[in-house]
Amino acid sequence: MPWVWVSIGSNIHREHNVRGAVAALTRRFGELTLSSVYETPSEGFDGDPFYNLVAGFATDLPPEQLHPALREIEDAFGRVRAGPKFSARTLDIDLLTYGDAVTDRGGKALPRDEIEKYAFVLGPLAEVAPEERHPVTGQSYRQMWDRFPPAQRDALRPLAFDWGSP
């Protein structure tokens, strides 16, 4: 079974929605590997800060079935998709990698380009998979993180997160 990494973010009822997303992913896919939770500024719009983390798990679902499964979890937490792309959200779960696949199966390019663009994605990924290599660049996530602009890296604030029930 391929190992996948997903990013999880919320800036509306952040703690409740992040805890709920992790619980829902665990129920659906089993044991997860979790990064720390980080508070990060909103990206691409003026809004409340986000809680972000990365989760990893093994799954036999192909990308074309995994994307909708993640979307169902978002919807269960009140995700509204009618607004602008960069806006406040209850929950955002994005499939970042699917093993070492380079594909657009399921309608979204994998690995996601957000890995190379955003500190709130790459930082947590480098924390939990430092030696894993990006399927396109061949660089380890630690190498990529070490080269990331310091001002963006410094915007990540690790939290002592309470993993109590949602």
Residue 106 confidence class, pLDDT cut points 50, 70, 90: confident
Packing angle, helices 63-76 and 14-29, rounded to 10: 140
157-158 and 92-98 as β-strands: parallel, antiparallel, unpaired?
Answer: unpaired
Each residue of 3-48: pLDDT tens digit?
999 999 999 999 999 999 999 999 999 999 999 999 999 887 788 9
DSSP state of 148: S
* Alpha carbon distance 63, 28 (integer Å): 15
pTM higher than the cut 0.85: yes
* Alpha carbon distance 115, 161 (integer Å): 23
Per-residue HEC secondary structure of 18-56 comes to HHHHHHHHHHHHCCCEECCCEEECCCCCCCCCEEEEEEE
- In percent, the amount of the chain with pLDDT more than 90 equals 81
Ordered structural domains, the chain, with CATH: 3-158 (3.30.70.560)
Q: What are phi and psi of 10, to 5 degrees?
A: -160, 140
